[in-house]
A = this chain, B = another copy of it.
Amino acid sequence: MKEDIRPTTAVVPCPVVLLSVAGIPRSNIITLSWVANVCSDPPTVAVGIRPNRFSHALVKNAGDFVLNIPSRDLFDATVFCGTKSGRDHDKFAECNLTEGKASKVASPLIEECPINIECKTSQVVSLGAHDLFIAEVVAVHVDDGVMDESGKFTPSKMELFTYLPLSGQYRLLGERITK
């Protein structure tokens, strides 16, 4: 039997990313789950951000940002950066995260994240509670420690986790499945 619940954002599971962005007087980090790969060529991502979030104006002004994929050791920082505002907190400093120089964008990357995806905003679509930032991926950096000898990303070498709306849970990834 199916229950008809209220219309809501029910796609599960969702990625969890730390978006880093340049700002004055300091750069900021915001944790987001309303994010996806949306086009292969040019490689493009889409990111939903509420206009009232401190990072919204930063992302709009910067015109670029970095999506950083955290491992489980950054889970507490992930929750902190998703619930505290950059208006009141220096998130890089308070989370002991290192601001790294990106190669193609002005916004900084987060050194401690095994995957960094540099993005340049191409358009912003207003949807209501969130604006959708559509952005081209211009560079990707992957840590040696999460790749095999041939340079291929190997998910078992990091502790990726995911967010589940409807339940509010975060879960680690588990075993691989194949046909």
Contact = CB atoms under 8 A, between A and B. Distances in A.
A48 B43 contact: no
A87 B174 CA distance: 35
A107 interface: no
Interface stretch (A20-28, A29-37, A55-63, A90-98): A29-37
Contact of A172 (B42, B79, B125, B177): B177
Q: How many copies does the complex hold?
A: 2
A161 B134 contact: no
A173 B170 contact: no
A106 interface: no
A92 B15 CA distance: 29
A88 interface: no
Contacts of A69: 10-12
Given A160-B13, A173-B173, A151 B3 contact: yes
The 5 A-B pairs at the shortest CB distance, nearest first, are namely A174-B174, A36-B36, A9-B37, A153-B166, A39-B127
B37 A165 contact: yes
B128 A41 contact: yes
Contacts of A53: none
B48 A142 contact: no
7 contacts: A7-B118, A13-B155, A13-B160, A14-B36, A39-B48, A155-B169, A171-B175
A134 to B, nearest CB: 7
Contact of A4 (B44, B46, B103, B155): B103
Interface in A33-92: 33-46, 48, 67, 69, 72, 75-76, 79
A38 B34 contact: yes
